[in-house]
Amino acid sequence: MKTRVQPLLGAALLILSAWITGCNKPADTASSTDPGKFQGVIKIGEFASLTGKEAAFGISSHNGTQLAIDELNAAGGVLGKELKLLTEDDQSKAGEPATVVRKLITRENVVAILGEVASSRSLEAAPICQQNKIPMISPSSTNPRVTEIGDYIFRVCFIDPFQGTVMANFAKNSLKAKSVAILTDVKADYSMGLAKFFKERFVADGGKVLAEQSYSGGDKDFKAQLTSIKASNPDGLFIPGYYTDVGLILSQAKELGIQFPMFGGDGWESTKLIEISGAAAEGMFFSTHYSPELESAVAKTFVQKYQARYKEEPDAMAALGYDSAFILVEAIRKAGSTEGSKIRDVLASTKDFMGVTGKTTIDAQRNVSKPAVILTIKQGKFKYVETIAP
Ligand code: PHE
């Protein structure tokens, strides 16, 4: 036993000392994976809601992004260098994205920024990236204004005029709703935009909006709004909110005896919604970007790798985070440079990138047109219903 253990111990010490030496190198040349394999590092910034109200979004998105970066490093990095993801927590709070993104750009000299999930927080950071000519890719912010900030701002998901249309058609055709009520979060650009696009299409197709009520993200009591919505007696209620609020809304709607179906957009997608609302979420619907039940080969391998590492199924944020990192690194590779303007130009010409969320082609407005999937909640789990092409 003894003779076998000692060489092993010796090897472990060697690795440890190599690792410590690696850590002592200046940040720009340190390599944690395999010393000698890389010539320097390329720093990529990420801002995400790792804590706070929408922590589930930020954590999923970050997990997907980190998985991609680690896979890319294992495959040799890019331009001979190791990729280093520097992640800042914006705590799901307004004001924080600007602070942390400024820090990533000016103090850390990142070459590009990945983030955020929530549109309001992407809208806050985008002008800073634009001013500094640092390309920013939002994996999953769907409000159209995000990419209108400037030519350095990209996204890899569909936008809300499409998502609103998808849900208006779904209400009319699948739920057979002739009338609806809408409950909007006035604090979220995402919610305000999605409500507007949904309404425009639903009304244009002859539907009626019987009640429009609002709340502020973080509210706890929605009974007053729900009571007046109930009294208007619609065929359905559209709630373009985020999961923490929507979870409470669904529970309180059940307590008030509301029977009509309730449905929403990608902001619903967290298992936390089911934890918060329990049985009240059964049979409800929402649109999103991706389902782990999708069949493509890339999607399947991704699900396996993600599950092996994080012990849970990936959701849309995880999948889009993963794709956003691959798209960025592919652009750096093609640009042969880490200069912002060069990365920007290559990103703008991204065409038919095959990712886990499908094919990504970035258009002239730096947006992407992709199918939406509709999920329902059945026995406490998200279930795939259908895919709707743009
Ligand atoms: N699309 C939402 C927004 O723009 C965020 C989101 C993305 C939520 C993906 C869930 C899944 O704010």
CA angle 296, 299, 300 (to 5 degrees): 85
Dist. CA 117 → ligand 1 center (Å): 5
Backbone torsion region of residue 151, taken as left when φ is above 0, otherwise alpha when ψ lies between -120 and 50, otherwise beta: alpha
Name every protein residue with a CB atom under 6 angstroms from any ligand 1 atom.
Answer: 57, 117-119, 140-143, 190, 266-267, 269, 288-289, 316-317
| Token pair for 284 | 């409800």
Q: What is the phi/psi pair of residue 382, to 5°?
A: -75, 135
Indicate which residue's Cα is closest to atom 12 of ligand 1. Answer: 118
Indicate which residue's Cα is closest to atom 7 of ligand 1. Answer: 140
List, for residues 139-183, the tens digit of each pLDDT value.
Answer: 999 999 999 999 999 999 999 999 999 999 999 999 999 999 999
Q: Which atom of ligand 1 is nearest to the CA of 191?
A: 12
| Token pair for 220 | 């706890």
Label residue 33 by pLDDT band (50, 70, 90). Answer: low
What lies within 8 Å, CB to CB, of 234 at 6+ separation is 177, 179, 180, 181, 210, 211, 260
Q: Taking the model in full, what pTM does it have?
A: 0.90
Cα dihedral 158→162→163→168 (10° resolution)? -170
List, for residues 213-259, the tens digit of each pLDDT value.
Answer: 999 999 999 999 999 999 999 999 999 999 999 999 999 999 999 99
Give the residue, out of 49, 62, 117, 367, with the most ligand 1 atoms within 8 A of its beta carbon, to mutate for a pocket test: 117
The span from the CA of 46 to the CA of 101, in Å, is: 8
Indicate the DSSP class of residue 142: -
Dist. CA 207 → ligand 1 center (Å): 26
The span from the CA of 126 to the CA of 137, in Å, is: 9
Dist. CA 349 → ligand 1 center (Å): 24
Dist. CA 178 → ligand 1 center (Å): 27
Identify which of 297, 269, 266 has the alpha carbon closest to the alpha carbon of residue 371. Answer: 266
Q: Which atom of ligand 1 is nearest to the CA of 140?
A: 7
The span from the CA of 73 to the CA of 75, in Å, is: 5
pLDDT reported for residue 295: 73
**What is the separation of C-alpha 12 from the centre of its chain, rounded to a whole number of angstroms?**
39
Does residue 280 contact residue 305 with C-beta atoms inside 8 Å? no
| Residue ranges of domains in the chain, CATH in brackets | 2-158+292-370 (3.40.50.2300), 160-288 (3.40.50.2300)
